[in-house]
Structures are given as C-alpha cells and as structure tokens.
Amino acid sequence: MHKALVMEVDACTGCHQCELMCSYGKVGAFNPAKSVMDITLYDGGAVNVPSTCTQCQEAWCMVVCPVEAITVNPSTGAKEVSAEACVGCKVCTIACPFGAINYDPDSGVVTKCDLCGGEPMCVEACPTTALAYVAEDSTGYDKMLRSATLAAGLDAPGA
C-alpha cells in the first residue's frame, strides 16, 4: 500500500519550514525558490495554503512527456522526473492542471515532488499537523472522486 501526502489548510501557520526543507532536499540549499512545496497566502496572509504534486493516478505530466522522463517509483507510487532523460521541453508543466511541476532554469530540467523516496522532508519539518504522510486509502481522495463523478452523471470509478 502506497502512502500519500495530505495537506491541512486549517493547520498551516505559513512558517514556510516545509519549503525550506524541500529545497534543502532538492538542491542542498535553503532556497524556497527551489522548493516543490509551495505555501500560497490568501487574505493578506490570514489563510496559508500548502500545495505540491498530488501524485495523480493518471498523471498528465507523465502521459505527455515525449521522452518518457517521468516514471512511477514502484515502492512509493511517486511520479519521478529523471534529470538525465528530461530534455526541458516543459510540455509537462503545461499539462499539469495544478501547476505542481516546474522548470528549473539552472538545471535545464523540470522538477516536482518525488515524496523524498518515501520520507517526505516537508512533513518532518512541519511544526504543526498541516502536513502528514498517510496511507493512501485514508486521504478521502477516492470518496471525493466518486462524489464528483456521480455529480457529473458519469459512472463511478471501479463501478
């Protein structure tokens, strides 16, 4: 069973510790511009919304990659970018409906959350309960998808 990253908006204080730790894990420096975790501020900072790649089951970024540089890690389920295979075309950045994959001009390739190999550093750095790494089936995603599908008048997944 894979695990998933869960983000709780109500618990986020906007401390940006997750961004700092993410950038440290990605590039070895505390530089939020290099983080694939993002804290977006709303209402003048009254609401802080953490976001990153949700590891979509049918990941459009992976489907559109012309060189198949994005693959699924079988142990974590994360969609990972191979820096060696990526040609920096940025098609995946356009395909992602959540803006969770970004081009890094310094490396010339795209970058996204890879769940830190199954030990997300952002979760470790979070001083609140805003970030958690939990069993995939306890996220509520399946229930949300079924409800949205039924509301749209479509057949529910797995039905």
CATH of residue 62: 3.30.70.20
Residue-wise pLDDT for 123-144, tens only, equals: 999 999 999 999 987 765 555 5
Question: Is 158 among the domain residues?
Answer: no
Question: Is 109 among the domain residues?
Answer: yes
Helix (H, G, I), strand (E, B) or coil at 79: strand
- Of 75, 72, 83, 68, which is closest to residue 27 (Cα–Cα)? 83
**Report field, pTM of the whole predicted structure over 0.85:** no
Question: Is 15 among the domain residues?
Answer: yes
Domain containing residue 112: 3-151
Residue-wise pLDDT for 106-124, tens only, equals: 999 999 999 999 999 999 9
Contacts of 23 (CB under 8 A, 6+ apart): 29, 30, 31, 32, 33, 34, 35
What's the number of domains the chain is made of?
1
* pLDDT above 80 for 2: yes
Q: Hey, what are 103's tokens?
A: 């081009």
Question: Is 103 among the domain residues?
Answer: yes
What is the per-residue burial (b if ≥16 Cβ within 10 Å, else e) of 133-144? beebeebeeeee
Residue-wise pLDDT for 49-97, tens only, equals: 999 999 998 999 999 999 999 999 999 999 999 999 999 999 999 999 9
Please give the average per-residue pLDDT across 23-40, as a whole number.
95
Question: Is 157 among the domain residues?
Answer: no
Residue-wise pLDDT for 92-109, tens only, equals: 999 999 999 999 999 999
* pLDDT above 50 for 159: no
- pLDDT of amino acid 136: 82
Question: Is 156 among the domain residues?
Answer: no
Contacts of 123 (CB under 8 A, 6+ apart): 5, 18, 131, 132, 133
Question: Is 58 among the domain residues?
Answer: yes
